Amino acid sequence: MSAARTCARTPKTIAAESVLRRHAALDPSSPPPMLYRWFLRPLLFLLPAETAHHLAFGALRFATAIPGVTAVLRALFRPRDPALRVDALGLTFDAPVGLAAGFDKNAEGHDALLAIGFGFVEIGTVTAQAQPGNPKPRMFRLSADRGLINRLGFNNRGAEDAERRLAKRARARGIVGVNVGKTKIVTEDAAIADYEASTARLAPLADYVVVNVSSPNTPGLRDLQAVEKLRPLLAAVQRTIERTCADRRPALLVKIAPDLSDDDVDAVADLALELGLAGIVATNTTIRRDGLRTPDDVVKQIGAGGLSGAPLHDRSLAVLRRLRARVGDRLVLVSVGGIETAEQAWQRIRAGATLVQLYTGFIYGGPTLPSRIARDLLTLAKRDGFTRVSDAIGADARATPDAHPR
């Protein structure tokens, strides 16, 4: 949970800090670290994308298991400036820059990820039952486009395993959200019960909960975005949270696809308001392939899957702007898709995002990207005349007439 715990800085920690700060590759005030850009990333990119992910994430978890390392990383990278803080979802975020679901599927390394500068981490997608996901290979880089195609298929160890891991960090620092999805073998008729089962286990341990109905890699899942199917699902998850979270009810959000029509985006926004949801996460990956630099034959050879990264930027921003025009500040909007720089994150905030999330940009930008974006957001806020980053939420939307009146 998000209860803070004081982390004392011992002489050893302070000494280690000094050494690390002298190393440009780990200095959050440096430009994109040369060690990662010119050495580590090229080596990792020699490996299959999923293998490289497991290797890099495993190395981070291994390093932070060494006594003192997590404390040093926090001292170096954790956002501290009060001007970065955002109050949303009944929580106080140290920074508005988080890690999207899909990176830490099994709640294995969220504390390590928080230590390197993320303001929050969203684990999952977690399903009620453990499942292996789709056959490999199932993750592919589009380096020319700074993108990824994945058809992982919600591979995870299930809600019971995630519950056990989350329970161990009940009093740890940092905000951790939980993203829940449908088990592949579960039929649509049984989908509500499946979501209820995972929510019942995980909501009491989550700072917020996201219902994922927008991955293109689980057959039939996106059909649940239709309002007539989404309404009973979200209402059931709400009741489960109310039943299982007596002390503190985590906020409930829904994650939508970028491939929805504008009318369907409006319909989901209206439903979220009707049901009293806390917010919307926009957007998931896209099934579209237009405008890519990667040769068509390579893209066709890769086949099906969700595309993320830079190619998603424009559509994700357009969905955010439409949502803001529709709901104003009545919902928390979490923007994800194609964010690689502080300027892009700042654009999303000014367009109406309370929070932003990284995924593919983190893979291409390296481990210091979240802290660099947070630092540069302060510069951008000052440049534009805002005392705090949160003061700029929706600033551009406030300056333009409502394009989509209700």
Annotated ligand binding at 218? The verdict is: no
145 carries a ligand binding annotation: no
Active-site choice (215, 316, 335, 371): 215
Q: Is 217 annotated as a binding residue?
A: yes
Residue reference for tokens 């993108």: 147
User: How far is Cα 67 from Cα 89, in angstroms, rounded to an integer?
Assistant: 33
Residue 130 annotated as part of some ligand binding site: no
Do the beta carbons of residue 122 and residue 101 sit within 8 Å? yes
Tell me whether residue 119 is annotated as binding: no
Q: Which is nearest to 76 in space by CA: 393, 310, 361, 374?
A: 374
* 134 annotated ligand-binding residue: no
Residue 39 per-residue DSSP state: I
Whether residue 91 contacts residue 2, with contact meaning beta carbons closer than 8 Å, is answered with yes
156 is in an annotated binding site: no
Q: Is 58 annotated as a binding residue?
A: no
Tell whether residue 13 is among the known ligand binding residues.
Answer: no
Per DSSP, what are the bridge partners of residue 251? 208
CA distances from 350 to 64, 213, 320, 343, 400 (A): 35, 27, 11, 10, 12
The annotation status of 255 as a binding-site residue, yes or no, is yes
On whether 103 is known to bind a ligand per the annotation, the reply is yes
Evaluate the CA torsion angle 173, 363, 165, 354 in order and state its sign: positive
> Is 261 part of the annotated catalytic residue set?
no
Are 241 and 203 within 8 A, CB to CB?
yes
- Angle formed by the axes of helices 191-202 and 159-167, to 10°? 10
H or E element: which one contains 121? strand 120-126
Check the annotation: does 372 bind a ligand. no
Tokens of 170: 């009940």
Q: Is 195 annotated in some ligand binding site?
A: no
Q: Which residues are annotated as a binding site for FMN?
A: 101-105, 125, 179, 212, 255, 283, 309, 338, 359-360
Q: Which residues are annotated as a binding site for substrate?
A: 105, 150-154, 212, 217, 284-285
Q: Which residues are annotated as a binding site?
A: 101-105, 125, 150-154, 179, 212, 217, 255, 283-285, 309, 338, 359-360
| Enzyme catalytic residues | 215
